[in-house]
Amino acid sequence: MPESSSSRLMRWKFNLFPAYRGTGARVTYIAADFREVRIRLPLSWRTRNAVGTIFGGSMYGAVDPMFMIMLMRILGRAYVVWDKVATIRFRKPGRTTLHATFLIDEAEIEAIRAATASGHSADRTYHVDLVDEAGVVHASVEKVIYVKRAANP
């Protein structure tokens, strides 16, 4: 699905926002329905650590806000969405540009709506890998996101 003017504007905002810009990553694509986001994290002077590989903080920071922001945009103001837990497993040093693709499908959105319909909160777990051009995984991230219907949307 191509970008819309709204998703393109969100991509520009991400890439200009100082906290995200500081990670060294760039958002390269946001689908018009916000169900897919792609990022790129190059090895550069800004992301390089003392041993010449991508700094782990840049790896985590590059992926940190994505699932929460995607769910906020998809579900709208009728829901409260917060990051709750995060874990990262570094599998291989990043010596080249890394990429990540975040996906949330319709079945997941329906599962969230069903789980929160009674007014209870739901914790949803998402996974994303930072991979190189060959598809080799350099870091795996697991995010737990808290979702609840808002009291007064």
> From edge to edge, which strands make up the β-sheet containing 122-131?
26-30, 36-41, 98-103, 122-131, 137-149, 79-90
Question: Distance between CA atoms of 46 and 107, rounded to whole angstroms?
Answer: 38
Contact 108, 115 (CB under 8 A): no
pTM beyond 0.85: yes
Average pLDDT on 46-52 reads 93
| In the predicted structure, residue 47 carries a pLDDT above the cut 70 | yes
Q: How confident is the model at residue 153 (pLDDT cuts 50, 70, 90)?
A: low
Q: How confident is the model at residue 127 (pLDDT cuts 50, 70, 90)?
A: very high
Question: Distance between CA atoms of 24 and 35, rounded to whole angstroms?
Answer: 23
Structurally, how many domains does the chain consist of? Answer: 1
- Domain limits at 140? 5-149
CATH of the domain at 62: 3.10.129.10
Percent of the chain residues past pLDDT 70, beyond the cut: 99
| In the predicted structure, residue 75 carries a pLDDT above the cut 70 | yes
